[in-house]
Amino acid sequence: MFKFGDYVTKLINSASHEREFNPIFVKKTHQLKVYFLGTGTSQGIPIIGIDHEVCKSTDFKDKRLRVSAWISWEDHSYVIDCGPDFRQQMLSSNCRKLDGILFTHEHADHTAGLDDIRPFNFKQGAMPIYAHKRVLANIEQRFDYIFKTVDRYPGAPSVKTFEIENNQPFAIGNKIAIPVSVWHGNLQVFGFRIDDFAYLTDVKTIDEEEIAKLKGLKVLVVNALREQPHDTHFNLQEALDFIALLKPEKAYLTHISHMLGFHEEVQKKLPKNVFLAYDNLEITI
């Protein structure tokens, strides 16, 4: 019988070995494309009505929409989170098809764009959404009209809910998403590992047993808010310590506040395998 637990262990153990076995003539068919749709913290950058120098920067890398990422491979296409900038992000990335949304948690900067799935609904039908039971209940409360079955408005968005049960891996297309449970202050949040890529946002602490799921990564995306400490988010030093512990080949920082500073200056201070993500950056894994 196929056991997800064994699969995860095998995946973790084989991750570094598989990398060595990759002759140039083998066509890579399962490469993941990760497109950073947004890399900003909850207010985005620039912030409404603020004269901070970073908010006034003309560098496009200092303009940050609310955090989200688009993951695609072959003809499969998923986003992680669906914040208030979702519509703009789908337009600027030219995303034409979406097979599902994986939610990290219920905060508005990660969920408030859900109404804008309608163009996908009209083309594809109900949108699969994957989340913790608590997050699904929260979404149902916030967007009650989406879940209405009686006297439903015909143009309302529609979703198909999938609960991420007991922290168990689940199928997305022909791949497996491994949920990684982390803490955002007192709030449980899911990060996700897909192949040798992991995406974690809004992390402040992590249980020891979850760390094993993050071994042998090629790319880790993790949040780094600013230099000053914060109660519910990694600051820059905590994110760098976390990266040093996990030793991914490369790491990208996201969920960034204007208080972290100018993109170009912060990037110069980072270790050589650590990069500040920016909006519309696309990487291949």
Residue (116 or 202) nearer to Zn ion, CB = 202
CB of 149 to Zn ion, least distance (A): 30
CB of 279 to Zn ion, least distance (A): 15
Chain positions 26 to 45 lying near Zn ion, rule: CB under 5 A, are none
| Among 206, 211, 212, residue whose Cα is nearest residue 183 | 206
| Contact indicator for 101, 129 with CB cutoff of 8 Å | yes
Annotate 197-209 with b (16+ C-beta within 10 A) or e (fewer).
bbbbbbbbebeee
CB of 105 to Zn ion, least distance (A): 6
Chain positions 233 to 262 lying near Zn ion, rule: CB under 5 A, are none
CB of 133 to Zn ion, least distance (A): 18
Tokens of 86: 């979702």
CB of 41 to Zn ion, least distance (A): 6
* Residue nearest Zn ion, CB atom distance: 107
- Give the interface size with Zn ion as a residue count (CB under 5 A): 3
CB of 108 to Zn ion, least distance (A): 9
Residues 6+ apart with CB under 8 A from 111: 81, 82, 83, 103, 135, 138, 139, 142
Residue (11 or 239) nearer to Zn ion, CB = 239
Residue (107 or 132) nearer to Zn ion, CB = 107
Chain positions 68 to 127 lying near Zn ion, rule: CB under 5 A, are 107, 109
DSSP, collapsed to helix, strand or coil, labels residue 119 as helix
| Strand ranges (E), the chain | 33-38, 68-73, 76-80, 100-102, 127-131, 159-163, 170-172, 175-184, 187-194, 197-200, 205-206, 219-223, 250-254, 274-276, 282-284
Residue (225 or 274) nearer to Zn ion, CB = 225
| Contact indicator for 185, 88 with CB cutoff of 8 Å | no
DSSP letter assigned to residue 167: G
Tokens of 80: 């992680």
Residue (43 or 92) nearer to Zn ion, CB = 43
Residue (105 or 263) nearer to Zn ion, CB = 105
Q: Is 63 in the site for Zn ion (CB under 5 A)?
A: no
Q: Per CB under 5 A, which region of 3-11, 164-172, 202-210, 243-251 contacts Zn ion?
A: 202-210
Can you give the binding site for Zn ion, defined by CB under 5 A?
A: 107, 109, 202
